[in-house]
Chains A and B, each alone.
Chain A
Amino acid sequence: MSVTIRLPGALRDAAGGETRLSASGETLRDLIADIDRRHPGFASRVLDEAGALRSYVNVYIGDEDARTRGGSGAAVPDGSEVMVIPAMAGGR
């Protein structure tokens, strides 16, 4: 299963300079682990020590907020687009 993940500029440095990646896995946690294998340290920027989404990280699977579908354990359908964005934006 392969999906496209889009990242904000704030995470570019954690993903080898990329803001659009392909990743494999059945759940959001699997996808993040897949990226972390290629870019060690990525997972800790998005997930806390317990493996849950950090409170200031929002993830959308398609148009749906991942938190409404189980957070980091949310199932990600094949071919989905996943978007990771800061829950709060810098500078108002």
Chain B
Amino acid sequence: MSRLTADLVRERVRGTILEQIGNTPLIPLRRVGAGLRGDLWVKIESANPGGSVKDRPGLWMVLDAEEDGRLGRRRVVLDATSGNTGVALAMVCAVRRHALELCMPDKVSLERKRIARAFGAQLVLTDPLEGTDGAIREAQRRAAAEPDRYVYVDQYSNPANPLSHELGTAAEIWKQTGGRVTHFVAGVGTSGTIVGVSRALRPKRVRIVAVQPDDAMHGIEGWKHMPTALRPAIWDERVADEHRVMATEEALVMTKRLAREEGIFTGPSGGAAVAAAIAVAREEAGRIVVLIADGGDRYLSTPLWE
């Protein structure tokens, strides 16, 4: 059981860049959301200092390991990631003065490797054909081989991941909407966002909509096609009132519309979440909050913006 609270986290990071994690803006979609029954609002997680929603679990997982005594000075933080969590952990570990090793699939974009290395992380590149699941298996292998060396934070299994959203993201949404939020829409990757927000907002009668890619071969970075992927231990289908799927092509069209019509430069998962939320808003009235996980600048070297 984690000892972390929002107040304790705030206290531990006071006076550092990490104090700026969270309290991200909530913005209405005036154009792509026009003419729908529901009002669409997006929570812009690219406003976090590390550039993505992953700053939240990255910070909470490291602080949790510090608080319970697992993370002493000579131990190395370890996780598997293809991008944003790596950047978040690297930033947090730089400030908290921990060594960090990240297992990531080879041939992830150059900017991801460079950002993580810029913060001082060591990278372990794994077989690109195995994807993120291959990186997870390598992190598991290393943690098992040298348990005294590594603190494997394991974002897919770590309760501090959803806790950061339960006590952070969800509380902010409730406050920012004055308690008028009726739906929350987000994609499923580690599932930390949807699980944590659900715990806090579902008891307040907010309808939780979880979205997955429609195919194992997809381009929605950060999302998992659960039927074919390694299942995160923290994932529980029952946290959502509704499950939807999204095609990559539709997500990419919406990603471009968000930039050109709303001035919101997001990655494919942001477009995917908004496209799914539009489908919800066509059918149901209310104040629908959608989480946009990161910004488009993380994808400049991919074909998306060519």
User: Does A6 have its Cβ within 8 Å of any Cβ on chain B?
Assistant: yes
- Majority-rule SS of B interface residues: loop
Flag if B128 contacts A90 (CB, 8 Å).
no
Least Cβ distance of A39 to chain B in Å? 14
Contact of A92 among B83, B133, B304 (CB under 8 A): B83
Instruction: In the complex, identify which listed stretch (A21-29, A50-58, A72-80) lies at the interface while the others stay far away.
Output: A50-58
* Closest chain B residue to A55, Cβ basis: B303
Q: Given A54-B219, A88-B220, A92-B85, does the pair A9, B156 have CB atoms closer than 8 Å?
A: no
CB-CB < 8 A to B85: which residues of A? 92
Q: A8-B217, A92-B83 are in contact. List 7 more A-B contacts (CB 8 A).
A: A8-B129, A19-B129, A46-B217, A54-B219, A55-B252, A90-B213, A91-B156
Q: Mark A8-45, 1 if CB is under 8 A from B, else 0.
A: 11110110000100000000000000000000000001
CB contacts under 8 Å to A, within B63-98, are 81-86
Residue of chain B at shortest CB distance from A83: B129
Question: Secondary structure of the A side of the interface?
Answer: mixed
Q: List 28 A-B contacts (CB under 8 A).
A: A7-B129, A8-B128, A9-B129, A9-B216, A10-B225, A13-B216, A45-B215, A54-B219, A54-B248, A57-B219, A83-B128, A85-B105, A85-B107, A86-B131, A88-B302, A89-B132, A90-B189, A90-B224, A90-B225, A90-B229, A91-B133, A91-B189, A91-B190, A91-B223, A91-B232, A92-B54, A92-B82, A92-B221
A-B contact count (CB 8 A): 115
Are A55 and B229 interface neighbours, CB within 8 A? no
Residues of A within 8 A of B223 (CB): 90-91
Q: Which of A19, A45, A85, A87 contacts B303 (CB 8 A)?
A: A87
Residue among B83, B85, B129, B228 having the largest count of chain A Cβ atoms under 10 Å:
B129
Interface: B242 (CB within 8 A):
no
Judge if B218 is at the interface, Cβ distance under 8 Å: yes
In-complex Cβ contact of A86 among B84, B86, B218, B303 (8 A): B218
Q: Check if B217 sits within 8 Å of A11, measured CB to CB.
A: yes
Q: Closest CB of chain B to A7's CB: distance in Å?
A: 7
Query: Is A92's CB under 8 angstroms from B217's CB?
Result: no
CB B56 to nearest CB in A, in angstroms, measures 13
The residue in chain B whose Cβ has the minimal distance to the Cβ of A49 is B249
| A side interface size, CB within 8 A | 28
CA distance A55 to B303 in the complex (A): 6
CA–CA, A58 to B220, complex, Å?
A: 14
Contact between A90 and B131, CB atoms less than 8 A apart: yes
Q: How far is the CA of A46 from the CA of B268 in the complex (A)?
A: 18
Q: A56-B248, A58-B107, A88-B302 are in contact. Are A10 and B216 (CB under 8 A)?
A: yes
Asked whether, in the complex, the Cβ of B128 is within 8 Å of the Cβ of A9, the reply is no
Known: A83-B128, A86-B219. A91 touches B303 (CB 8 A): no
**Is the CB–CB distance between A6 and B129 below 8 Å?**
yes
Note all chain A residues with C-beta closer than 8 A to B218. 10, 56, 86, 88, 90
Give A67's nearest chain B residue, CB to CB.
B303
Tell me whether A89 and B108 are in contact (CB under 8 A): yes
For the complex, what is the distance from the CA of A8 to the CA of B304, rounded to whole Å?
A: 21
State A53–B108 Cα separation when bound (angstroms): 18
CA distance A56 to B132 in the complex (A): 15
CA gap between A25 and B78 in the complex, in Å: 43
Q: Is B130 an interface residue (CB 8 A)?
A: yes
